[in-house]
Amino acid sequence: MKKCLIFSIIAMSLLACNKNPLLDQPNTPYGVPAFDQVKLSHYMPAFEAAIEEQKAEIDAIVNNEAEPTFENTIVALDRTGMTLERVEGVFFNVLEADGNDEMNEIAEKVSPMLSELSDGIILNEALFKRVKFVYDQREQLGLNPEQMRLVTETYKRFADNGANLPEDKKERLKAINQELALLSLKFGNNVVAETNSDDMKRFITDEALLKGLPESAKAAAAEEAEAAGHPGEWLFTPKRTSFTPVLQYCENRDLRKELLMDYTTRGNRNNDNDNKAVIIREMELRIEKAQLFGYDNPADYILADCMAKNHQTVDAFLQSVWAPSLAAAKREAAALQELLDQDLPGEKLQPWDWWYYAEKLRKAKYALDEEEIKPYFELDNVRKGAFGVATKLYGVQFEKLENMPVYNPEVEVFKVTEADGSLVGILYTDYFPRAGKRPGAWMNQILPQYIDENGDHRPVIINVGNFNKPTAGNPSLLSMDDVETLFHEFGHALHGLLSKAHYKSLSGTNTPRDFVELPSQFMENYAYEPEVLKTYAFHYQTGEVIPDELIAKINAAGKFNQGFVTTELLSASILDMDFHELTTAEGLDVNAFEAQSLAKMGMIDEIIVRYRPTFYNHIFTTGYEAGYYSYTWAAVLDADAFAAFKETGDLFDAETAKRFRHLLEQGGTRDAQELYIEFRGKEADPANLLRRKGFIE
């Protein structure tokens, strides 16, 4: 990446931070960040210098005496902040995946600085005047479609973030944005702190209490206990890899309840990590912000730039899927109640019973025991399987790179190339839980893709997960849900890696939120296809390929428990929308509001919403507010897209794959709906999703 021109004040800052690996162009393979050279002391000077550099770049655009043009204003603006993106790409990825108290303190200092910088750019009247000048002349400039998209999206970004507001409202907006940045950070830190707290560590001393739990899960819990200074015991925590096997297999109903309640009450215990007050304040500010822009509620403000456009469209969409999902969940609950009655006559099915009896029913109905399948899902092999799907679809190749700079020894690095050897990008993978890692799985961009006069700058992408760590006796073995998660996040990675945009603000996953989940969920479709399974599902001890009878069981059970899965997901989506359709937060009681929302939607008592408000990172930390519906919205697209391959009779049909790769390459350079229709030839048919889930024939 070519360094931007740095003015004298920036040069002084860089001299003061001599040999700061975050600021200097790294002397590393493929220009990846020098993770191994970065120290805590480098971050603040790097942020300070990079922020000043971008301010200087903005000043250069504003002070340009030439008439505003596409190149000297719109493109120049897109090219600003390259150094800052590199600094952010390192810091925030490490913070999320391997953070600590010192990094949290830095984040608390940096977040308001970044918010102030962003507002200082968006609310810069002279800069907006230049942007608007080009926008108003756009039809006469002879722009190609991507250039036109950059102009319109740049103008919208300014307008949607306050450029047209009067001065007093601009000042209030700045204050709101800075406070929201800190609240978001506090919310996420509280969830991590509570998840890792001593109060959430459940040490088991009597092995009899673990009856039914697979040996692999007991071994992992024993290693965790020993690492925590409790040899001879078993440790369970609210991390999914820890408590999920207990919910599925452990006969001890009290332990199942205790662990599920630990997980679902995080941030809601009236302690230092409680998030209820954070939520109320976030909602107060989000409502105020939306109303500054003339919207009644945050949902409509946020959705204006999405495919859905408004909350009424989202609400109607969610309800159309909710009704058949809830009906299926009620049928499933009745079947599980029958099993419970055999063990505990007179007892009612509870949320901590669902996974346990669903696993029993799956075994009885399909003779499918997930513990029988797990030995075939060794992590490295599953990853190779996902890579293999990408190779067959798009021709890209993957090569593991050794001795690359990483922020943690568990991180692995892969070079991704075209069939002719040209570079597609660099992919980092970081799959195991650790104390400083936030829960869940995600894809992030470390360095963006874009094309300028120096060529095509290829991206650096990371996939992060929280899968089972290898134990002394076993490698990392994945559950069926883990396999889907790995394929899902790899789909996001491909979206970033295959990007061919000229402008970084339009490249990769810079798309509407209700479109961005299409590439990830599309990849999930391949995980359990028989011809794909045979390429990666090998028994970790014998090397035997997964037998046909197991594959048949997996696919026969593919529609099993989908009422639960979909209802759990949709309830979180509806809860998200209910929060963000509020027009006031006065008198908001988080727990009471959640209860009212669930009652209104008719949620059954046997299922707990996937994300209860106080640990709902998606909508209170990571920018998915009024956007969690997008997983289901994109599921309609992904089911329809996969149907396009199915209709050819070839899961890897070359012509269909070529069209879908073209969709991935476009990033945000085109209207999302137009892109999809260009690929499919028509709008997506929701029936493909309902059929896949078994809700309709």
Catalytic residues: 489
Contact 289, 297 (CB under 8 A): no
Strand 423-430 relative to strand 442-447: parallel, antiparallel, unpaired?
unpaired
State the sign of the Cα–Cα–Cα–Cα dihedral 99, 103, 104, 108. negative
Q: How many residues does the chain have?
A: 697
Q: Which two structure tokens, joined as six digits, stand for 692?
A: 């896949």
Q: Return d(Cα 262, Cα 243) in angstroms, integer.
A: 10
Q: Return d(Cα 249, Cα 217) in angstroms, integer.
A: 10
Q: Which two structure tokens, joined as six digits, stand for 426?
A: 């660099």
CA angle 202, 619, 77 (to 5 degrees): 130
Q: Return d(Cα 574, Cα 216) in angstroms, integer.
A: 37
Q: Is 657 left (phi over 0), alpha (psi -120 to 50) or beta?
A: alpha
Strand 423-430 relative to strand 460-464: parallel, antiparallel, unpaired?
parallel
Lookup result for tokens 């006069």: 453
Lookup result for tokens 């209490």: 209
Q: Please report, for residues 270, 502, 605, the alpha-carbon distance to residue 322 in angstroms, rounded to integers and kept in the order given.
A: 33, 40, 16
State the sign of the Cα–Cα–Cα–Cα dihedral 618, 519, 457, 145. negative
Contact 456, 504 (CB under 8 A): no
Q: Which two structure tokens, joined as six digits, stand for 122?
A: 């968006």
Q: Return d(Cα 488, Cα 522) in angstroms, integer.
A: 8
